[in-house]
């Protein structure tokens, strides 16, 4: 049995492989599906097998999987193109006869009604239609979605959102990676869908207060109408279509769709999820110049 991680040079994929190795999975039993061999050179040096393939080139996926593999399909980053990309991976996995296809979808699964969820729902359905043994990892928001963009927050003294008093049950990427490792290396996860989120949901006002507390700066929460939020994002250089998706996510947050705290993530990993305060601290430390 081999464990195959797609998108292995991305943020989440690298963490999954790091945790597999740290947990004792031999490098020879891990394969990384990547587009760029040079970008994955560090993985190869550690003994991880590289399988070169591209979600957008179905013919390249023919050698990406083998019978009996346990596969983690990490959702692609090209919003709007992901359904055909993911479908190609599913077809290749079925042709190879993999033993498990775990997929990183979105919190709420079929019940998620915001735009970013549509491709995830279509992918889950494609996996169900394939008849493959599956595990759905319905990931909530990464805390890093916010903390990796602290520079403008600190510069302007404001956390800008259009989610009202909505709450987000986020967790660190490393938490979601640990959940993926658990289902790839453990038993009893086939045919299961896990709603993964942080243990505690927070509001943007609370997030602003935490950044203010740790940075020592005056940071406020500035809630704006959706139209104004869209203008702010596009004015900052975010492409129109992606900015619209981000604003739509905030509307979903306001409706409570990313606030669920099922406890699945902590149960899978065997530990509490990473508090938002810790991720904020790590982000601020990363911004501090080295003397």
N-term to C-term CA, the chain:
48
In a domain, 27, yes or no: yes
Of 140, 172, 159, nearest to 260 by C-alpha is 140
Q: Which of 93, 114, 139 is the last residue of a domain?
A: 139
279 and 148 both lie in a single domain: yes
Residue 167 and residue 87 share a domain: no
* 71 and 82 assigned to the same domain: yes
**107-139 pLDDT, tens digit each:** 999 999 999 999 999 999 999 999 999 999 999
Asked if pLDDT for residue 290 goes beyond 80, the answer is: no
Q: Of all residues in the chain, what percent carry a pLDDT higher than 90?
A: 95
**In this structure, what CATH number is given to the domain that contains residue 25?**
3.40.50.720
* Predicted local distance difference test score (pLDDT) of residue 161: 97
pTM of the entire structure? 0.96
- In 3D, which of 196, 183, 216, 205 has the Cα closest to residue 261? 196
- Conformational region of residue 79, where left means phi above 0, alpha means psi within -120 to 50, and beta covers everything else: beta
Are 56 and 147 members of one domain? no
Rounded mean pLDDT of 144-171? 96
Do 161 and 252 share a structural domain?
Answer: yes
Do 148 and 122 belong together in one domain? Answer: no
> Has residue 74 been placed in a domain?
yes
pLDDT classification of 81: cutoffs 50, 70, 90: confident
* pLDDT more than 70, % of the chain: 99
Domain count, the chain: 2
Q: β-strand 220-223 against 158-161: which pairing, if any?
A: parallel
| Residue of 156, 149, 168 lying closest to 238 (CA atoms) | 149
Greatest alpha-carbon pair distance for the chain in Å reads 56
- The position carrying tokens 């979605």 is 145
Tokens read off for 193 = 């869908």
- What mean pLDDT comes out for the span 21-42? 95
- The mean predicted confidence, pLDDT, of the chain is 95
Residue count (the chain): 291
Domain assignment present for residue 181? The answer is no
Calculated CA dihedral for residues 55, 149, 143, 260, nearest 10 degrees? -90
| Assigned domain for 155 exists | yes
Q: What integer pLDDT is reported at residue 288 of this predicted model? A: 78
- In this structure, the answer to whether residues 105 and 211 fall within a common structural domain is no
Q: Return the pLDDT at 80.
A: 81
Residues spanned by the domain of 280: 140-172+197-260+274-291
Q: How far, in Å, are 1, 74, 107, 119, 182 from residue 113 at the CA level? A: 37, 21, 11, 11, 28
Contacts (Cβ under 8 Å, ≥6 apart) of 186: none
Instruction: Tell me which of 288 and 174 has the higher pLDDT.
Output: 174
Q: Based on the fold, state whether residues 33 and 8 are members of the same structural domain.
A: yes
Domain match, 131 and 148 both? no
- Least confident among 27-31, 33-37, 250-254, 279-283: 33-37
Are 149 and 27 members of one domain? no
**Among candidates 107, 77, 83, 85, which has minimal Cα distance to 249?**
107
């Amino acid at each position: 049995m081999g464990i195959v991680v797609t998108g292995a040079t991305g943020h989440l994929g690298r963490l999954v492989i790091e945790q597999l190795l740290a947990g004792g999975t031999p490098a020879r039993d891990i394969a990384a599906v990547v587009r760029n061999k040079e970008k994955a050179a560090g993985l190869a040096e550690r003994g991880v097998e590289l399988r070169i393939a591209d979600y957008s080139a179905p013919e390249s996926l023919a050698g990406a999987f083998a019978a009996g593999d346990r596969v983690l399909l990490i959702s692609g980053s090209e919003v709007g193109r992901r359904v055909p990309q993911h479908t190609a991976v599913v077809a290749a996995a079925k042709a190879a006869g993999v033993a498990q296809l775990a997929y990183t979808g979105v919190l709420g699964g079929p019940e998620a009604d915001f735009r970013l969820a549509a491709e995830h729902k279509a992918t889950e359905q494609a996996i169900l239609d394939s008849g493959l043994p599956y595990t759905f990892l319905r990931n909530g928001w990464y805390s890093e979605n916010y903390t990796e963009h602290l520079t403008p927050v600190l510069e302007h003294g404001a956390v800008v959102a259009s989610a009202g008093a909505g709450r987000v049950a986020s967790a660190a990427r490393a938490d979601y990676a640990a959940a993926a490792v658990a289902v790839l290396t453990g038993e009893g996860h086939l045919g299961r869908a896990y709603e993964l989120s942080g243990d505690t949901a927070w509001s943007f006002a609370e997030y602003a207060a935490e950044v203010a507390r740790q940075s020592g700066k005056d940071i406020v929460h500035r809630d704006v109408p959706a139209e104004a939020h869209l203008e702010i994002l596009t004015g900052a250089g975010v492409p129109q279509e992606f900015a619209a998706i981000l604003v739509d996510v905030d509307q979903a947050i306001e409706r409570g769709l990313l606030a669920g705290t099922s406890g699945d993530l902590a149960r899978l990993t065997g530990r509490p999820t990473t508090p938002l305060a810790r991720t904020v601290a790590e982000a601020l430390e990363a911004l501090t110049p080295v003397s």
